Amino acid sequence: MRLQEAGHAVELREAAPHLGGMISPVRLGSVEVDSGAEAYAVRGGVVRPLCDELGLEVAGPQGTPHIWWRHGTFPMAEGVLGIPGSLDDPALGVLSDEELAAVAAEADLDRAVGSDATTVGDLVRVRLGEAAVDKLVTPVTQGVYSMPPDRMPLSAFAPTLLEALASEGSLLAAVAAVRGPGTAAVEQPIGGMFQVINALAERFQAAGGSVRTAASVASLKRGGPGFQVSLHDGEVIEAERVVLAAPAAVTSVLLSHLGLDVPAPPVRTARSAMLAVSTPELADNPVGSGVLLAERDDTLHARALTHYSAKWPWAAGREHVLRLSYPEHVLPTRADALRDASRFVGVEIQERDVTGFASIGWESMPTRIDASNRDFIVETALEAGVDLVGAWLDGNGIAAVVSGTGRVLR
């Protein structure tokens, strides 16, 4: 769309049978919901303006996320990375009386305590105690970032927290100040994240853009006005410019046809299972927007559950939509999903209540690439006249990918 606005005639070729890549829907029972990304980060102010421009109404998530322990489920702190912003936060219910007293005593500590901390774990440990690290923060950082708090630099994950501690005098007050009132960290267009793809495709085609799906690019050569792009089905396109917005492995192969050696960084697989169920007890949203697993349990294979239709109420109808995340090595079956979902929500979901099921694997999830390597790759391709965009270079996440597309307007 941006290239069209800059006056280019653009042709889009997509290997999959539909547009969207990791922002694609799946039909479950009577509802179409996100099968990959479900929300964008509000921080950075990149995606909301795009949604506004596309005429899409957006909303933040509903319901509190929960943390699942074998002995019960507790709400996640309304704070920063599991650190609460107040002693009234129901998340503190997971602590024993003694552990809670340690958190309460934080208000009496000198504000300098922890001011030299470098990681989230260090800071929480010295101010709120070890139990707060283990029971409040670790389940959140592991569940969201797959990282223990001791490996998370404050400068990267909570850059303003130490400054707020110095001005507010306590960590709880600092968290409340940093978080601010009612600020959702993520949002989605009403109807699902994939509405962005539908709206973009509509705009693109209305402006004369040509789109083909199930049209996989096979090779890239110099020729014609600049490049010859050949597809597996025999189509050949001659183009002045080429933008590769494909995963790392495909991009690496296509660049090799131009004599460029750009090794693809490693990828991982994200696995999930989705269920649509008609179980009436779920109408009370027993785990709010979902749960993260805090402690291992051999009978549970999923790591987290999102009650998608509670989190994004536009998706709530006769059926409830549940999404379970699994470790890479587990290929979840319908029976696995049903059993794990029942444990997580604390309600026995019956097989006869299931109206839709999908087991989904995304095999090109990018891993982190350092900035100097990214710049080298982008510039190497650019010297050959090819623009590169995508999460494998710009970081996994919609906001990062959208920001990176600015590069093509050179």
- Interacting residue ranges for ligand FAD, rule: CB under 6 A: 13-16, 21-23, 36-41, 216-217, 245-247, 250, 270, 272, 362, 364-365, 390-391, 396-399, 401
Nearer to ligand FAD, 216 or 403 (CB): 216
Nearer to ligand FAD, 16 or 283 (CB): 16
Shortest spacing between CB 90 and ligand FAD, in angstroms: 25
Nearer to ligand FAD, 64 or 269 (CB): 269
Nearer to ligand FAD, 247 or 290 (CB): 247
Shortest spacing between CB 405 and ligand FAD, in angstroms: 9
| Contacts of residue 189, Cβ cutoff 8 Å, sequence gap at least 6 | 51, 56, 57, 58, 195, 196, 199
Return the H-helix or E-strand segment holding 26: strand 25-28
Shortest spacing between CB 27 and ligand FAD, in angstroms: 17
Shortest spacing between CB 108 and ligand FAD, in angstroms: 40
CA dist list (Å): 389 to 57, 326, 335: 26, 28, 39
Shortest spacing between CB 48 and ligand FAD, in angstroms: 12
Structure tokens, 351: 């097989």
Nearer to ligand FAD, 233 or 281 (CB): 233
8 Å CB contact between 24 and 194: yes
Residue of minimal CB distance from ligand FAD? 21
d(CA 12, CA 213): 8
CA dist list (Å): 121 to 66, 83, 102, 127, 308: 20, 10, 16, 10, 30
Shortest spacing between CB 211 and ligand FAD, in angstroms: 11
Nearer to ligand FAD, 26 or 171 (CB): 26
User: Which string of DSSP letters, residue by residue, matches 56-73?
Assistant: --EE---S-EEEEETTEE
Nearer to ligand FAD, 19 or 131 (CB): 19
| Contacts of residue 382, Cβ cutoff 8 Å, sequence gap at least 6 | 388, 410
Between helix 171-179 and helix 161-168 the angle, nearest 10°, is 120
d(CA 268, CA 364): 6
8 Å CB contact between 47 and 399: yes
Shortest spacing between CB 39 and ligand FAD, in angstroms: 5
**Euclidean distance between the first and final Cα of the chain, in Å?**
15
Shortest spacing between CB 395 and ligand FAD, in angstroms: 8
Cβ neighbours of 40 (radius 10 Å): 26
Kindly state the DSSP code that residue 76 receives in the 8-state scheme.
P
Shortest spacing between CB 222 and ligand FAD, in angstroms: 18
Nearer to ligand FAD, 162 or 324 (CB): 324
Nearer to ligand FAD, 38 or 122 (CB): 38
Shortest spacing between CB 115 and ligand FAD, in angstroms: 33
**CA-closest candidate to residue 189, choices 322, 4, 53:** 53
Nearer to ligand FAD, 95 or 245 (CB): 245
User: Which string of DSSP letters, residue by residue, matches 289-333?
Assistant: TEEEE-S--TT---SEEEEHHHHSGGG-SSSEEEEEEE-TT----
